[in-house]
A and B are shown apart, each in its own frame.
Chain A
Amino acid sequence: MIDIQDVTYKIAGQPILQDVSLQLDKGGIIALIGPNGAGKSTLLSLVARLLPLQTGTIRVDDLQIGQTVDTVLAKKLGILPQELTVASRLTIRDLVGFGRYPYHKGRPSADDHDRVDTALHLFDLSDLAERQLETLSGGQRQRAFVAMAYVQDTDYLLLDEPLNNLDIAASRALMTLLRDLTAGRKRTVVIVLHDINYAAAYADRIIALKAGRVVADGAPDAVVTAALLRDVFETPANVTTVARRQVVLV
């Protein structure tokens, strides 16, 4: 469980997050939504220890962020960056192989190589394994990064707006991939999403933030309502139900 307690974060005196307390249970996809500037990315960055905590505590299972050795957390919590531009000429196999770094520290064993091969196969990347990242499409690149997170074998995976710059096919493929990762409730994916329809369709739980506070939290059909769009996003969009799923009419 990721346990966030009374987290407040300020930049130049301006509060970005105010007294946020959340318990994110293990298993499933948890989507963070909210208007621009609501503090979603900041919250994710704090959990990912990309930003130093100012007040409050964050615990990932029994590990407290800020007090735990980085190499230990690296086996517990993975993060994928928003920008998938990485040092040129890295091949997919190299990139996926980096996912094992927390375990082998640069000296991969036969077992590490096996796991990379398995992941390449599982994510349908075997044929592309020796291709360089920069020669791939956005969707393929995204898949390679998720494969890397998969071999890192962390219980928690954080993603910040991964659907940016992806077309509908790649977006759906990625979300399905994340669904599969969390199947069996073994892994937890925390994801910042802009498109509420994707959140409603794929997430198990949706948390809405506005002006640094949690304003809604629950299952998709409880959270995605016309009232939410009106109050949180301040836009009078209608919400309807199609195939027993909430859909925002845009």
Chain B
Amino acid sequence: MRVRFILLTIALSLCCAAYLSIGARGDWGFVLSFRAQKLAALLLVGFSLSWATVVFQTITGNRILTPSIMGFDALYLLLLSALVWSIGAQAYQALSAQVLMTASAALLCGAALILFKTVLRAGRGNLMQMILTGVVLSVLFRSLTAYFQRVIDPNEYAVVQAASFARFSNVDTSLLLLAAVLSLGAGLAVWRIRHRLDVTSLGPVLSASLGEPPRRVQWQVLILISVLVSISTALVGPVAFFGLLVTSLTYLVTPSCRHSEILPTAALIAGIILVGGQTLMERVLDLSTPLSVVVEFIGGLIFLFLLLRSLR
């Protein structure tokens, strides 16, 4: 486990160094501080999404579903469209980024709690039922979003559209400090309950038998997931299959079932994918393809693969 951990850390460090240095010209002080901010944002997004996905999969007891697949991204777009529709694009753009992020994170948290609770109740551990509920809710959110986008005027629509695609190259760094505080806080809370999460992954009966009834942990974890996902969505926009890509690779790499190993590994892998991938796309391939497209493509394939395998 040590060796694997050290290798991953070295890989991530190399990716970070490459991201900071490749193709840098001119004033190094400026380039480094500019790129360091974007790097920090990427690492933060990787950390938040990977941890949120791991604990979501733990409390739902499966390794296919992620918060995004369960309709979180669609919910984000719905809130965004509803916001622009209700206050207008000008007022929306006049809002400071921090206010917008805090407000949307708070709104998303509330809505996400209701969403996840509904999904969990509907599913009761039945994977297909949960996927179905998630899909139906996603479609509902998307239709409502489409409705809002039709009733607002085209200029305002452009504002919504710009915010509805994942953007790893153009991260909003003004939010960095606030996002860092929130997601590291949530991360700390997750880390503190890592042993309880281990027990929860044994299923409802055994965890009750061992003195950790799942519903007690569930609420706490759902709130933390909502915070983590809201932050990363506010930073880079919706990314549907990134979390799944990360957790699948994590389970492949670590044989352990302990969160004290899974969580750090997932964060490292997420960082490597985002920073390494971004370096490759931005510096080597000259932005010919956005990273989000590649990540979604591979993540989507993994989703289909896992789904088909579970049906067999």
Contacts and interface: CB of A to CB of B under 8 A. Distances in A.
B264 interface: no
B208 A98 contact: no
B63 to A, nearest CB: 8
Interface in B196-248: 196, 198-199, 201-206, 208-213, 216
Most buried by A among B63, B199, B257: B257
A106 B194 contact: yes
A206 interface: no
A71 B201 CA distance: 17
B210 A101 contact: yes
B302 to A, nearest CB: 16
A86 interface: yes
A106 B206 contact: no
B124 interface: no
A193 to B, nearest CB: 18
A48 B208 contact: yes
Contacts of B212: 70, 101
B117 interface: no
A87 interface: yes
Contacts of A71: 211
B107 to A, nearest CB: 32
A49 B211 contact: no
A94 interface: yes
B257 A90 contact: yes
Given A87-B201, A89-B257, A79 B209 contact: yes
Contacts of B213: 49, 70
A90 B196 CA distance: 16
A49 B208 contact: yes
A94 B258 CA distance: 9
Contacts of A90: 257
Given A89-B257, A94-B257, A106 B195 contact: yes
Contacts of A73: 211
B255 interface: yes
Contacts of B198: 98, 106
A86 B48 CA distance: 27
B90 to A, nearest CB: 51
A129 interface: no
Given A87-B257, A90-B257, A105-B195, A81 B205 contact: yes
A60 interface: no
A83 B124 CA distance: 14
Interface residues of B, number: 23
A98 B210 contact: yes
Interface string A70-112: 1111110111111101111110001000110110011100000
A98 B203 contact: no
In this complex, which of A70, A99, A102 has the most chain B Cβ atoms within 10 angstroms of its Cβ? A70
A106 B194 CA distance: 9
A50 interface: yes
Contacts of A81: 203-206
Contacts of B199: 98, 101
A152 interface: yes
Contacts of A105: 195
Nearest to A75: B211
A80 B199 CA distance: 14
B255 A98 contact: no
Interface in B168-210: 194-196, 198-199, 201-206, 208-210
Given A87-B257, A90-B257, A106-B195, A98 B211 contact: no
Contacts of A101: 195, 199, 210-212
Contacts of A48: 205, 208-209
A202 to B, nearest CB: 22
Contacts of A77: 209
B210 A86 contact: no
Interface string A37-76: 0000000000011100000000000000000001111110
Nearest to B196: A106
A154 to B, nearest CB: 8
Nearest to A101: B210
A86 B208 contact: no
B218 to A, nearest CB: 14
A74 B198 CA distance: 16
Interface of B: 61, 63, 194-196, 198-199, 201-206, 208-213, 216, 251, 255, 257
Given A87-B61, A98-B210, 8 more contacts: A48-B208, A48-B209, A50-B208, A70-B212, A73-B211, A87-B202, A87-B257, A89-B255
